[in-house]
Amino acid sequence: MFSSTQFDVTSAFSGGGFMPSQSTQLTDSAPSPAKSRDSQGLVPATVKQISQASHSGDEKSSFVIDGVDVTNVTVVGMVFDKAEKVTDVGFIVDDGTGRIGCRRWVNENFDTTEMQNIQDGMYVRINGHLRSFHGVRQLLAFSVRPVTNFDEVTFHFIDCIHTHLQNSKLQLQGGASIQSHMVESSVNTPVRSGSNGNQTSTSIQLSKQYSVDGLKDCDQLVLEYLQQSSSMGQEKGTHIDELCQQLRLPMEKIKGSIRSLEDEGLIYSTIDEFHYKAT
Amino acid sequence: MDTSKPAIFVNGGLLPMHVRKRVRTVVQVIGSDRGAVIGKSTDDQQLSVKGTPPSVPLTNFVEVIGIADSEKSIQAEIWTNFGDTFDTYSYNQLCQLANGECQLLFL
């Protein structure tokens, strides 16, 4: 299998499902916060989140949670109704937010041995592929490991919350109040934008924003406000004074964001150079 | 899939908000009283856990899942030994988050 002359890493490991998906990378030539982002490797999720996930576009094979394409998830919960068959082991996992059916194909000794150690009533960490079968969501598990240190249970749910907050677009309203409840201060640091640490801002909401697709936080706020106004049917657009007032940002910042968003083609001026709409 | 019977993360302070509902919590076992296990919640309140504990001895920390039958007690259906050490501070914070801004992920 491993020839000394050629070793193709992609084909050697692609069956295991552990490599992040390379073939479906989307290049962000035109940043658009409305579209789903690239598939993430292994997304922590609660069964409740899985039940609420929508299907990704026309493909029934992947799901969307908080605007992000999700195919592989990690779940921590208790095993019930384990049923061993010749080719696979089926069981239910209950994580306290809901119950979902799981299946583990047992092709090799490793799989069989791993599943033999799993008993009903045990807490496990399951890494698996989320799919829909005859309209019923289930997990095709490729790893089922008993939990031995129960801080892992606490960690998993905090991880779900952390990932949710990173991915969702609700930070604008919830940002100020969520911060006071954060478990660790490190969770507050914005992940994507490198410039945020030095950004001086007059608004509390701005200081802990997560930026999306390379847009600076201020641009993101302006864009979202304009998108909201457009969806409410404001034909002549929004005056920049209103942006300044509502977002509580200095006028120079608003004007700077307007310029960048206009350059990107995400907004356009309407009746005069003070009124703008989102495209 | 079934999300009809969730168990809400609670500590001592949150338990009164969920009386007659299905809850889950981790307590530190401090004793027993008339057949019920007395535990200290992750926010240092005393709770009473009724029901049938498992046949194996309880460890220092135990997770119980069951129905809250009063502001200070739970009728436990499932008991899980969580070991002799446990990060109660993080679990307590999780309870607050799960009942606050992020409850949509859980309920």
**pLDDT tens by residue, A141-170:** 999 999 999 999 999 999 999 999 988 765
Contact between A100 and B1 using a beta-carbon 8 Å cutoff? yes
- A160 chain-B contacts, CB cut-off 8 A: 105
Confidence of residue A91 (pLDDT cuts 50, 70, 90): very high
Half-sphere exposure of A203 (CA within 13 A, CB side): 21
CA A164 to chain centre: 6
Residues 24-63 of A with CB under 8 A from B: 46-51
Contact between A181 and B101 using a beta-carbon 8 Å cutoff? yes
Site of tokens 């509580």: A248
pLDDT above 80 (res B88): yes
pLDDT above 80 (res A124): yes
Across the range A96-103, mean pLDDT stands at 96
Dihedral of the alpha carbons of A164, A167, A172, A174, in degrees to the nearest 10: 0
Sign of the Cα pseudo-torsion (A242, A243, A248, A252, in order): negative
DSSP state of B88: H
Closest residue of chain A to B23, computed from CA coordinates: A96
Query: Which has more confidence, A252 or A21?
Result: A252
pLDDT above 60 (res A174): no
pLDDT above 90 (res A254): no
Q: Is A160 on the interface with B (CB under 8 A)?
A: yes
Q: Is A157 on the interface with B (CB under 8 A)?
A: yes
Residues of chain B whose beta carbon is less than 8 angstroms from a beta carbon of chain A are 1-7, 9, 24, 26, 61, 63, 65, 78, 80, 82-83, 86-87, 90-91, 93-94, 96-98, 100-102, 104-107
Confidence of residue A208 (pLDDT cuts 50, 70, 90): very low
What is the Cα–Cα distance from A153 to A124, expressed in whole angstroms?
Answer: 9
Task: For B13-67, write each residue's pLDDT tens digit.
Answer: 999 999 999 999 999 999 998 889 999 999 999 999 999 999 999 999 999 999 9
Query: Which has more confidence, B95 or A69?
Result: B95
Q: Which of A155, A160, A174 minimises the CB distance to B105? A: A160
What's the 3-state SS for chain A? CCCCCCCCHHHHHHHHCCCCCCCCCCCCCCCCCCCCECCCCCEECCHHHHHHCEECCCCCCCEEECCEEECEEEEEEEEEEEEECCCEEEEEEECCCCEEEEEEECCCHHHHHHHHCCCCCCEEEEEEEEEEECCEEEEEEEEEEECCCCHHHHHHHHHHHHHHHHHCCCHHHHHHHHHCCCCCHHHHCCCCCHHHHHCCCCCHHHHCCCCCCCCCHHHHHHHHHHHHHHHCCCCCCEEHHHHHHHHCCCHHHHHHHHHHHHHHCCEEECCCCCEEEEC
- A183 chain-B contacts, CB cut-off 8 A: 90, 93-94, 97
Query: How far is B93 from chain A, CA to nearest CA, in Å?
Result: 6
pLDDT above 80 (res A31): no
Query: Which has more confidence, B97 or A190?
Result: B97
User: Going by C-beta distance under 8 Å and a sequence separation of 6 or more, which residues neighbour residue A269?
Assistant: A237, A262, A275, A276
pLDDT above 60 (res A18): no
A213 and A31 Cβ atoms separated by less than 8 Å: yes
Contact between B87 and A154 using a beta-carbon 8 Å cutoff? yes
Contact between B1 and A47 using a beta-carbon 8 Å cutoff? yes
Query: Which has more confidence, B70 or A5?
Result: B70
Best residue in A123, A136, A157 to probe B by mutation, most B CBs within 10 Å?
A157
- A138 chain-B contacts, CB cut-off 8 A: 1
Q: Is A130 on the interface with B (CB under 8 A)?
A: no
Angle in degrees, 0-180, between the axes of helices A151-167 and B88-99, rounded to the nearest 10: 40
Predicted TM-score of the model (pTM): 0.64
B56 and A124 Cβ atoms separated by less than 8 Å: no
What is the Cα–Cα distance from A268 to A259, expressed in whole angstroms?
Answer: 10
Contact between B82 and A46 using a beta-carbon 8 Å cutoff? no
Q: Name the 3-class secondary structure at B94.
A: helix
What is the Cα–Cα distance from A177 to B23, expressed in whole angstroms?
Answer: 25
Query: How far is A179 from chain B, CA to nearest CA, in Å?
Result: 10
pLDDT for A29: 45
Q: Name the 3-class secondary structure at B14.
A: coil
Across the range A4-21, mean pLDDT stands at 53
What ipTM does the predicted assembly reach?
Answer: 0.96
pLDDT for B5: 92
Half-sphere exposure of A249 (CA within 13 A, CB side): 24
Query: How far is B32 from chain A, CA to nearest CA, in Å?
Result: 23
What is the Cα–Cα distance from A228 to A87, expressed in whole angstroms?
Answer: 52
Q: Which of A96, A151, A158 minimises the CB distance to B86? A: A151
Q: Is A207 on the interface with B (CB under 8 A)?
A: no
Contact between A98 and B78 using a beta-carbon 8 Å cutoff? no
pLDDT for A271: 85
